[in-house]
Chain A
Amino acid sequence: MKQFLAFIKKEFYHVFRDRKTLLMLFGLPVVQIVLFGFALSNEIKNTRIVVMDYAKDEASQKIIDRLEASSYFDIQENLLSASNLEASFKEGKVKLAIVIPADFNNDLLHFNKAQIQIIADASDPNTANTLTTYASAIIMSYQTEMNGLRHAPYQITTEVRMLYNPELKGAPNFVPGVMALVLMLIGVMMTAVSIVREKENGTMEILLVSPFRPFLVILSKAIPYLIISIINVAIILSLSVFLLDLPINGSVALLFGESILLIITALSMGLLISTSTDSQQTAMLLSMMGMMLPTLLFTGFMFPIENMPMPLQIISNIVPAKWYYIIVKSIMIKGLGISMIWKETLILAGMTVILVAISIRKFKIRLA
């Protein structure tokens, strides 16, 4: 036990003496949260849209009023020519255009059928999707109201409710994503690099010749990064509560428990990488490519998994961060307890156990 403590102490010296790494360890989560929180927000609020109202009648005015009443849109009424419209799109001034044709009310009254065109700038498909959904929902609500007036006894209204995230804030989605990303990155990269550094420096040999058990070498390498990662979780959560006004709806303890599960998974992946290379640079590259990309792509916080082709959807299931992301979202935003997320937890825990087993096994084989 004393040996073990001496080792952990040494690991902390390494961490605190290396200012650059230290800055990365604690700066990364802060920068990511601030960056995602303010710069990369995909929140829909006061988006500038153009309504080209050729009808100028009662019906079209009502629709415009409704669009205006929502906080999502900032309406410009303008009759632009087709080429002007395209120019505005290209300049990025306008994200969405709604075209109401000249005989809109007429069509509606006589044929019970009228068309409205919605044009969206789909260069950012996620935003375009959200915007058109909102716009159509608003128009639909007008339609149902109209139906209600005509068939007096049957008044049907649809109500659009954005569940869990009524203000459509971006933060609920990316905070769990950033947590997954930061934990994976730090866990995997730091463990891999710190073990490979011992190999590169030749100190690993000395450690293996000493009576200190190889298993304890791994454990004492992992513990400092486990502690640092837990601190990072705390930093991210406090930033999201105090800076981004995003409350934690579920149990904080459960959130930390699940985070520790992911951290252990990350640490064992780092160990696995360290057994396959002898150079710090390779270790770093492997961790970056092997962890960053899948985590970014397959957790679903940047790119919706449902929109991916089937093979990629299947692949996404083997990415631990995906399950963690689902779990954290459920706890933080929906406030769910363990009874609702035990399946995901079980999957994540299973992955953790398998990875720990493989990496320890591989590490031992190298000593033989």
Chain B
Amino acid sequence: MPEPVIKTNKLTKIFGDFVAVDEITFEVQPGEIFGFLGANGAGKTTAMRMLCGLSYPTSGSATVGGYDVYRENEMIKKHIGYMSQKFSLYEDLTIFENIRFYGGIYGLTNKQIKIKSEELISFLELEQEAKKLVKGLPIGWKQKLSFAVAIIHQPKIVFLDEPTGGVDPVARRQFWDLIYDASSRGITIFVTTHYMDEAEYCDRVSVMVDGSIKALDSPSNLKREYEAMSMDDVFYKLARGAKRGP
């Protein structure tokens, strides 16, 4: 069995006397699409921020891409991509300039950027819009572009924090096609989502309730185990006992 790309052991984050993430332990295998589910306030984003090197854990240990989150977060940053729930391209830049910029800060050479951007633009069928400001794009396209930009440097892992929030079902479906495509090229996908139909697309999912992981398995195993028709039911059964939440 290959070395897991993400490995945590009792990873914990405490703010004051609030335990946001409570001793979570899990592994993610290379190339996997790993769904990270949980209600609002369950601690998903905090856990993800620790893995991305945006926040220091209070205790426990974790490695991402083989690098330690405490000591080697500069190395981690080189090997991960990140897409936040907010749309995070620059609206006053063109598509092409956005790609150039992100390529630039990830240290790609001009030649690589040129090849990459042409590839991305034709892949996303944005030839007509490449020189237009991002501002005018429909949200679905913006989301796809964000994703494409997040993996421009061929990271080992890409973290997606509710990437499809506010996007219509058709665009969401298309977005998942991109995720599958990236996964087939060996990029590990770590994705949080609210949409249970999306959970079904994942290889394995974990369900976080009140800061800890209550279940972790493939969607089909989870449905069998909780005698549920859909992931929606699984989630409801697990999350209804939650003390925290909106």
Contacts and interface: CB of A to CB of B under 8 A. Distances in A.
B73 to A, nearest CB: 10
Interface residues of B, number: 34
Nearest to A368: B56
Given A205-B82, A209-B53, A368-B56, A2 B88 contact: no
Given A10-B93, A211-B77, A206 B106 contact: no
Contacts of A211: 74, 77-78, 105-107
A207 B87 contact: no
Interface string B65-79: 000000000100110
Nearest to A207: B105
B7 interface: no
The listed residue with most A CB atoms (<10 A of its CB), out of B85, B92, B133, is B92
Contacts of B124: none
B88 A205 contact: yes
Interface in B153-178: 159
B236 to A, nearest CB: 30
B90 A202 contact: no
A285 interface: no
Nearest to A13: B93
A159 interface: no
Contact of A3 (B88, B104, B133): B104
Interface string A8-19: 011001100110
Q: For chain A, what secondary structure do more than half of its interface residues adopt (helix, strand, loop), or is it mixed?
A: helix
Nearest to B52: A209
A208 B106 contact: no
A212 B88 contact: no
Contacts of B90: 10, 13-14, 201, 203
B86 A201 contact: yes
Interface in A205-246: 205-212
A7 B85 CA distance: 23
A367 interface: yes
A368 B78 CA distance: 18
A209 B149 CA distance: 13
A6 interface: yes
Interface string A164-206: 0000000000000000000000000000000000000111011
B53 A210 contact: no
B100 interface: yes
Contacts of B100: 6
B80 A2 contact: no
B97 A3 contact: no
Nearest to A210: B105
A25 to B, nearest CB: 15
Contacts of A202: 84-88
A3 B54 contact: no
A368 B56 CA distance: 6
A367 B106 CA distance: 19
A52 to B, nearest CB: 66
A368 B159 CA distance: 19
Given A13-B92, A203-B90, A210 B54 contact: no
B26 interface: no
B88 A203 contact: yes
Given A2-B104, A368-B56, A206 B93 contact: no
Given A7-B101, A201-B88, A206-B83, 16 more contacts: A3-B106, A7-B105, A10-B90, A17-B92, A201-B86, A201-B87, A201-B90, A201-B91, A202-B84, A205-B84, A205-B88, A206-B84, A206-B88, A208-B54, A211-B106, A212-B105
19 contacts: A3-B106, A6-B104, A9-B101, A10-B97, A10-B101, A18-B92, A202-B86, A202-B88, A205-B54, A205-B88, A206-B88, A206-B150, A209-B53, A209-B80, A209-B82, A210-B82, A210-B105, A367-B54, A368-B55
